[in-house]
Amino acid sequence: MATLKYINVKEVVKLTGRSTDEIRQLAQDGVLPAHKARKGHWRLNVDAVEKYFGIQINNPEEEIKESEEQSQFLSETRLITENFYQEVIEHVCKAKSSIKIMTGHFKRFNLKPTKKQGKNYNDGTPFINFLKQKAEQGVSVEIVCSKPSPNIIEAWDLCSRKLKSGVFNMTYCIRNHAKVVIIDDKIAYIGSANLTPAGLGQPYDSPGNFEVGVITKDPKAMDYLVELFYKIVDADFCPGCHRANQCVEY
C-alpha cells in the first residue's frame, strides 16, 4: 500500500496512460474518491487509484531516498578496464590493517618496479613474499582461492613456516569464482581479473587479458563483501555443498 494519501490528475494520467478528461470524470462521478484542491484541481485518493487501475504508486520520498543512495554508491564507485596492476596491487601494497582477496586462479607474479611506488616495493619481490612481510608488519592477510597454482602452494607453505607473527591464511574453496580484493575494509576491487599475471596485465608473452571491474569505497558494498568473505572462510556454505569434500586447507 502506498504511504501517500492523495495524488493529482496529471500524475494519474502519467501512470495510467488515460486521458485527463477521463480521470477527471471518474473523480466527478465518485468512482475515484477525490476532493478539489485550490484552483479547482482534483486530488485523488491513492489507495482508490491503485485498486481501480491495478497499479502500485511509490512514495516520492522513498524514490528520492533510493535515488540518493544510488547516487552515493555511484559517487563512491568507478569503472576500470585497464591498469589493473596499478589499480589493484598498488592499493594492496599500501594496506595498513587488512588484505582480503577472493580469486579463482592464483599464479605467481612479482611486484614490478614503478617510479610511483618508490623504494618500498619496487624490487621485483614475489607477491607471496610481500604478503608475508605485510603480515609480519601487523597487516591481516587472508585469501580465498579456488585454483592456486602448484608454485603458489609451495611458496605459501614456505612463507607460512617462516612467518614470525601475524595473520596469514589461505582458504581453498573450489566453488569460489569471485574476484574481489578488499583493502583495510575501506576500498575494494570487484571484477573479472584473477590474481594472475594475465589478469593483472603483466604476462611475459602478451599484453594480458581483457578485463573489467570497479573500484568502490561504498560502505554498504564493503559490508556485504566482508560478510560474504567470512561466510566462505568460516565454512558457512559447506554443510549444503556437494563439493565440500574436494576442498582442503593450506
Domains and CATH numbers, the chain: 6-58 (1.10.1660), 75-246 (3.30.870.10)
Q: What percent of the chain stands above pLDDT 90? A: 40
Instruction: Report the predicted TM-score, pTM, of the whole model to 2 decimal places.
Output: 0.68
Rank 12-16, 87-91, 104-108, 109-113 by mean pLDDT and report only the highest. Answer: 104-108
Q: Which residue has the cell 511509490?
A: 58
Please give the pLDDT value at position 117. Answer: 46
The torsion region of residue 184 among left (phi > 0), alpha (psi -120 to 50) and beta comes to left
pLDDT band at 99 (very low <50, low <70, confident <90, very high): very high
CA torsion angle 158 164 166 168 (round to 10) = 0
The string of pLDDT tens digits covering residues 142-186 is: 999 999 999 999 999 999 999 988 899 999 999 999 999 999 999
pLDDT band at 122 (very low <50, low <70, confident <90, very high): very low
